[in-house]
A and B are shown apart, each in its own frame.
Chain A
Amino acid sequence: MDFIDYYKILGINKSASESDIKKAYRKMARKHHPDVNPDDKEAERKFKEANEANEVLSDPEKRKKYDKYGKDWKHADQFDQAGQQGQYRQSSSGAEGFGRSGNYGGDDFSDFFGSMFGGGGRSRGRSTQFKGQDFNAELQLNLEDVYTTHKRTLTVNGKNIRLTIAAGVENGQTIKIKGYGGDGMNGGPKGDLLITFNISAHGKFQRDGNNLYATVDLDLYKAMLGGDILVDTFDSQVKLKIKPETQNGTKVRLKGKGFPIYKEDGKFGDLYITYTIKNPSELTSKEKELFEELAKLRS
């Protein structure tokens, strides 16, 4: 475990008074408290660091040990005892001295962070309840998946969670499932599970909110003379009337044929169709002749 400079974390110097420590801690807490920085991992980390620094520096006994032994302050008693018995300095049997590389601590901040965020570590002094850590998860879906309301079972941290995904959920939208995060501390509530939906693009339909967009090819003759065509909607087909002399890029709106509106049962956005006129190719001599005739009529 690397040395953690608690003074540096709180932005104070070694001669800071108790009130300086309190003031510095409160300033850090106001800035990085998880409740005012939702979904911000960096702020959460800094808040935990500030808590640990405060727990040590605001306690005169612990601060004294920390100042004397630095990162090994938690084993100060063992140091003192070993020093008194003359064993520490004489150790030459290959065993490391206390605090050199002996694995006493584990991960950085683990003891205190455990106490702040529900890891079951020791907690002294303050009896403030802390909500457990929020867990974040991402769910990859395609557009068809979110066209209808459906249920899905997710496994998060070994727990199966039955989730109802409402039709019309947006790409990037995050839903909160209360109480499925980390355990709280001192009887505090459990954290929440935040699921962000990542919806992949569809090959045929583009989605913008509740509306869908698609392009439909029209042959030149139908565009010029008009007629009926069958057009795919997201879940079926509709017959559309093409007006004579329809131009390339013409848009039509099919009301209520778009995407379901989130949490508004039975309501849908619109489908916008853009016509792309396809010119004939590989003309026969007869066709060419007729086009030339048409061209003459226009000139």
Chain B
Amino acid sequence: MSEAREYIPVIQLCNHYKVEITLFNEMQNIGLIEITTYKEQLCIPEERLGDLEKMIRIHRDLQVNLEGIDVVFNLLQKVDELKNELNIYKNKLRLKEGL
């Protein structure tokens, strides 16, 4: 049961988001997503769905092309890493101040 929920067919995603399959192919070519074949169907792993939705929204709402989305995602990842790093330093500082 859990196996069936792990992959979502690309064709189903195309219908749901009303996008052409070529968009998925281009996203794969640029390395934004990874399409895998599961039970003879092209699929996207379920855990990547959140990122995929975000990419489609950024593409549609902001007219950002796929290369731009790649840049946005890389920068967001860096922001996330910096936030985590800042959090670690804040905790270190708290430790030093407490001693």
Contact = CB atoms under 8 A, between A and B. Distances in A.
A208 B92 contact: yes
B87 A207 contact: no
B78 to A, nearest CB: 13
B57 interface: yes
Contact of B91 (A33, A36, A170): A170
A213 interface: yes
Given A29-B61, A128-B60, A213-B95, A35 B90 contact: no
B33 interface: no
Interface residues of A, number: 23
A201 B94 contact: yes
B87 A201 contact: no
Interface stretch (A66-74, A155-163, A171-179): A171-179
Contacts of B76: 36, 38
A26 B98 contact: no
Interface in A1-50: 26, 29-30, 33, 35-36, 38
Interface string B10-48: 000000010000000000000000000000000000000
Contact of A131 (B53, B94, B95, B98): B53
A97 interface: no
A208 B94 CA distance: 9
B88 A209 contact: yes
Contact of A189 (B53, B63, B64, B72): B53
Contacts of B66: none
A151 B63 CA distance: 43
B91 A208 contact: yes
Contacts of A206: 95, 98-99
A213 B91 CA distance: 13
A33 B53 contact: no
Contacts of B92: 208
A173 to B, nearest CB: 7
B62 interface: yes
B43 to A, nearest CB: 19
Contact of B98 (A35, A129, A201): A201
A55 to B, nearest CB: 14
B94 A36 contact: no
Nearest to A36: B72
A170 B83 CA distance: 13
A172 B63 CA distance: 34
Nearest to B79: A38
Contacts of A30: 62, 64
Contact of A35 (B54, B88, B99): B54
Contacts of A173: 87
A129 B72 CA distance: 20
Contacts of A38: 76, 79
A130 B58 CA distance: 11
Contacts of B64: 30
B95 A207 contact: yes
7 interchain residue pairs of minimum CB distance:
A172-B87, A206-B95, A35-B54, A30-B62, A208-B95, A171-B91, A35-B58
Interface of B: 17, 50, 53-54, 57-58, 60-64, 72, 76, 79, 87-88, 90-92, 94-95, 98-99
Interface of A: 26, 29-30, 33, 35-36, 38, 128-131, 170-173, 178, 189, 201, 206-209, 213
Given A171-B94, A209-B91, 18 more contacts: A30-B64, A33-B57, A33-B62, A35-B54, A35-B58, A36-B58, A36-B62, A36-B76, A128-B60, A129-B17, A171-B87, A171-B91, A201-B98, A206-B99, A207-B91, A208-B91, A208-B92, A213-B99
